[in-house]
Amino acid sequence: MTDKNVEMARRVARAVEQSGGRTYYVGGFVRDRLLGKENKDVDIEVHGVSVPTLETILDGLGERLAMGASFGVMGLRHYDLDIAMPRSERAIGGGHRDFEVVVDPFIGQRSAARRRDFTINALMEDVLTGEVLDFFGGKDDLMHGRIRHVDPTTFVEDPLRVLRAAQFAARFGFEVDSKTRSLCATMDLTTLPGERVFGELEKALLKASRPSAFFEELRLMDQLGVWFAEVEALVGVPQNAAYHPEGDVWTHTLQVLDRAAEQREEACYPLGLLLSSVCHDLGKAAVLQEVDGTIHAYGHEKEGVPLARRLLGRLTREQKLVSYVLNMVELHMRPNQLVANGSRAKSYMRLFDASKCPEDLLLLAKADHEGRVSADGLAVPEAYASIEEHLQRMLAEYHRRMAQPYATGKDLVQAGFAPGPAFGEVLDHAHKLRLAGRPKEEQIAAAVALLRKIERSES
């Protein structure tokens, strides 16, 4: 809990004070306190005592952890508390981790704060007195909703800050300062590890009320295509105005993303849902065609699968997530199509069975429908409530059928058959009967008949 970590921070600060030093809350903890937001990540920075002195202090308070000893970062077991010492960094190469770090407890508060990325993260709060040190106008930037770099010389040494600027803009609803945006446009993001890029994307998707701002800011910085080329390719891709008054595929995608964000709390897999909304129409850039003056994107859902795989492959190795998104991309059109076509229950059962998460698939279908907003900001007038009600009714029926007893391999063994390769084919046939709502006895009977037919054909 935060209270426990804050209390330990005070104990550290009192001991440091007795040794002639001062301790400050730093980074996001101070920023979020001033914004009135909760932040459970408690980071403190200790000034004015040597490294051995701080180590002795921490040893007296608990089991000290060397979380990054060479970087002057320590901790205490059983506490979520980062205890750092002031340090300066100097780029010595082209990669994200190519820095020379110098720990200097006596560098001074202003110099220590200067190494921070943005003014809103350079604020320091004395742990014991509550005094906030603001050397670079961070409070004013918080008040005006502005993301502004601290020092142009040190800022460009870390290209991850480009992604952080976009992430903060989305997360807090702030705007990136024009000079900071221009500075970001000059930085090389190709040296970043994909997992670090994904980390910033994940924060934007899961913490922002309007995550589309993450991509909008990267586009304004001319940095979108470095890691998100498939998304950038959607800019300017036209759509049929009769169905998409909002404009091009890029605009539609961002609106779907924001609609999906409104449903995060309902999702089984929130991150997967948000990523699926980003990727759902990637295929439109590849299959766009105009027939008799009408724009079509036939088959875009299937064409989008390899594009989504390529995009996600640069960012993450989480196969469960990738598999989920690819499945969502391929199926995202189907729920609303089935309703529009007046399809029978059998089609819904097959769709839900093919989905890795039918509950989230329906959330994406809803976001896709509601992500069609005209230039005046008015939603497409078609009411979705009746569509959603029908889809939810069909999903409930699917779950009802899946909850009934069903044929298994054990049933076939009990019927006198030895397990073999044919079991898979036979049980797949039985599963289709299960989807159709047929009772277990009928499934077994059909499976037995099919097995006997297979045996006769092989004899």
Residue 253 is assigned to a structural domain of this protein: no
Does the pTM of the predicted model rise above 0.85? yes
Q: Are residues 275 and 377 in the same domain?
A: yes
Instruction: Report yes or no: 177 and 169 within 8 Å, Cβ to Cβ.
Output: no
d(Cα 83, Cα 280) in Å, to the nearest integer?
A: 42
Residue 149 is assigned to a structural domain of this protein: no
Look at the chain and report how many structural domains it folds into: 3
**359-407 confidence digits (pLDDT tens):** 999 999 999 999 887 555 555 556 789 999 999 999 999 999 999 999 9
**83-108 confidence digits (pLDDT tens):** 999 987 665 655 545 666 788 999 99
Residue 170 is assigned to a structural domain of this protein: no
Q: Are residues 45 and 102 in the same domain?
A: yes
Residue 205 is assigned to a structural domain of this protein: no
Q: Which domain holds residue 441?
A: 409-458
Residue 362 is assigned to a structural domain of this protein: yes
Q: Are residues 393 and 452 in the same domain?
A: no
Determine the pLDDT at residue 53.
96
d(Cα 394, Cα 379) in Å, to the nearest integer?
A: 26
Query: Strand runs (DSSP E) across 183-259, as ranges?
Result: none
Tell me what percent of the chain is helix, strand and coil, each rounded to the nearest 5.
Answer: 55, 10, 35
DSSP secondary-structure letter at 86? Answer: -
d(Cα 412, Cα 416) in Å, to the nearest integer?
A: 7
Residue 439 is assigned to a structural domain of this protein: yes
Identify the band that residue 240 occupies on the pLDDT scale cut at 50, 70 and 90: confident
Instruction: Report yes or no: 322 and 307 within 8 Å, Cβ to Cβ.
Output: no
Residue 230 is assigned to a structural domain of this protein: no
Q: Are residues 338 and 451 in the same domain?
A: no
Q: Which of 84, 108, 136 is the endpoint of a domain?
A: 136
Q: Are residues 381 and 442 in the same domain?
A: no
